[in-house]
Amino acid sequence: MDKSVLVRAMPIGFAFALTLCAVWAAAAGARAYTTTSPLVVRLVDRAVAYLETAEEDRVGGKAVIALALLKNKASPDHPRIVEAAKAIQGSAKGGGTDMDIYGTGVSIIFLVTYDPDKYRPEIEALLKSLRNRQKPHGGWGYPSNEQGDTSMTQYGVLGYWEAKQVGFEPPLESVEAMTRWLLKTQDPSGAWGYQGNLSPSYQPVEQQSIRQSLSAAGLGSVYICADLLGLTPAVAPRDESLPAALRESAPQQAHAAPGQQIRTSIDPNLIRAAQKRGNDWIAKEYKVDPGLEAYYYLYALERYCSFRELAEGKAGVDLAEVEGPKWYNEGVEFLRDSQKEDGGWDVVIGQCGKPVNTAFGVLFLLRSMQKSIQRARGFGEGMLVGGRGLPKDGSDIVVQGGNVVPKPLLAPFEALKAAMEREEAGAEDLTAAVERMEKLPPKQSQLLVSEYQKRLDKLLSNPSPEKRVAAVKMLGRSGDLDNVPMLIRALDDRDPEVMLAARDGLRRLSRKFDGFGPPDEPTDEQRGQAIEKWKAWYLSIRPDTEF
């Protein structure tokens, strides 16, 4: 997606979101919406109908349209989704060099959302392309320009974050470099400009072409970088009676999010200071009518607000039940008033084009980024309100502020331990434990499997195939190569489900996602060949192993 796919919004407003709040705070009787409100559903349905027939030639443009359809729960075999995947595959074969940073970032996000296992080679190629084009100072920008570009950099940052959530690991030095670039290109006012003027230190220096969309992009990226580095951004609202975007905030001591570790030498105080300046700027400069490139701006705004909500402990809200914040409510009405007869959104001046603008509008209405965060943090569909969708096991829920919510991220770990410690645990308990394990950070998964290694080894010989499958899946999700021999042994299990779970676990641990087989319905010979190949691979990295 050329520079066109992601437009650079002029005084558009990031302002939009936060002034939103200001106006809404004063506006009595204002409407409030959820992602399932009739108006929101109607706007999305009309926009999707337009997107299903709109013409878009750019690979990045195809990707963002397909992403919007996916987020709206379109079928995976929807023609526009399949078309986007094929276009990205073609580009990735050439190393992704025919796409700019916009297109590369959005294509990664789409493939990660669509099918990260099937398109792993393409995602890896695009991540490599992203890394290779990162400038020495840490930002991304035009090849002919030494400076970094805030608008482009936000998509490099977001591509990294989305990829990390499904098991890819962006190089730490690259993440730290882009974080430093963002910290060194903030204006003293707290805003961000277009082409970053790099500070020789972390003292903010004057930036050019400041506008709301770029400030939303820059500040949202700072929050994302903090998350990538294992830091909870630590912004504490003081006045709960004001809209979140307008509250004065006081920094607290930075700490790792549940299950995470701080993995950077960057001073967390620098990140907190940048967040504080940025939030203050947005509170002052927010405006509801962005003027130009409104829809590109809305997508950046929702992303910033979602990561700020995560930092403030509000990311688990059930989007279908809980009324949106003020900026979302006013955004819905802005989109209502500006939607065209054919369902699309467009502006007179802009580089994105009507189809991409429309996709951005849909992503905003669906709270696309918050959904991604909830999935990554194990919130599932989000906070459970009014009893809707409550789990059968009441031990998995607590009540906070009158709402029924899932227990914090540590709950799956405790529940897993409880299941593993019960010798009489049935197959259903162990299967539920595997599902809980998917919510755990990698470090906790590895710790759990290590602690119950003997129990899992014993389960591999249990007469119940369901228990053997559960044990194999836990070993495969452990992230620990020490468990490879047990998984290779399980390849010889006569139950096909156990064998396939062992194969998939080996592929996950080895990061050889095409792997050595066996196929889904192997002959004895194919199974034996696969076992020998996996043994040979493991001996190549652990030569002292005895099978």
* Residue-wise pLDDT tens digits, 289-344: 667 778 888 999 999 999 998 888 776 555 555 556 888 888 999 999 999 999 99
Strands (DSSP E) found in 160-275? 235-237, 249-251
- Note the pLDDT of residue 422: 60
**Are residues 255 and 201 part of one domain?**
yes
**Are residues 395 and 363 part of one domain?**
no
172 in helix, strand or coil? Answer: helix
Place of tokens 């989704």: 81
Mean pLDDT per block of 10 residues along the chain (547 residues) reads: 40 38 39 86 94 90 94 90 93 82 92 90 92 93 89 93 88 93 93 88 88 89 91 47 43 43 77 92 78 83 90 66 74 91 77 87 92 73 34 42 38 57 60 64 72 81 84 84 90 89 87 78 90 91 83
Boundaries of domain holding 446: 410-541
C-alpha–C-alpha distance, residues 100 and 95, integer Å: 12
**Are residues 207 and 112 part of one domain?**
yes
* Residue-wise pLDDT tens digits, 223-247: 999 999 888 644 444 334 334 444 4
388: in domain: yes
List the one residue out of 343, 337, 212 whose CA is nearest residue 283: 212
- Note the pLDDT of residue 321: 53
**Are residues 390 and 414 part of one domain?**
no
Enumerate the β-bridge partners of residue 326: none
DSSP alpha helix (H) spans, 149-285: 150-164, 172-184, 212-228, 268-285
- Note the pLDDT of residue 388: 30
Q: How many CA atoms lie within 13 A of 336 on its CB side?
A: 14
**Are residues 113 and 126 part of one domain?**
yes
List the one residue out of 296, 336, 269, 331 whose CA is nearest residue 151: 296
Structural domain count of the chain: 3
247: its two tokens: 């509250």
Kindly report the length of the chain: 547
Query: Cα separations (Å) of 480 from 167, 269, 440, 486?
Result: 14, 34, 15, 11
Provide Rg for the chain, Cα atoms.
24
Query: Cα separations (Å) of 303 from 1, 63, 215, 407, 434?
Result: 19, 18, 12, 25, 31
**Are residues 364 and 422 part of one domain?**
no
- Note the pLDDT of residue 274: 93
* Contact criterion met (CB below 8 Å) for 498 and 487: no
> Torsions phi, psi of 237, nearest 5?
-65, 140
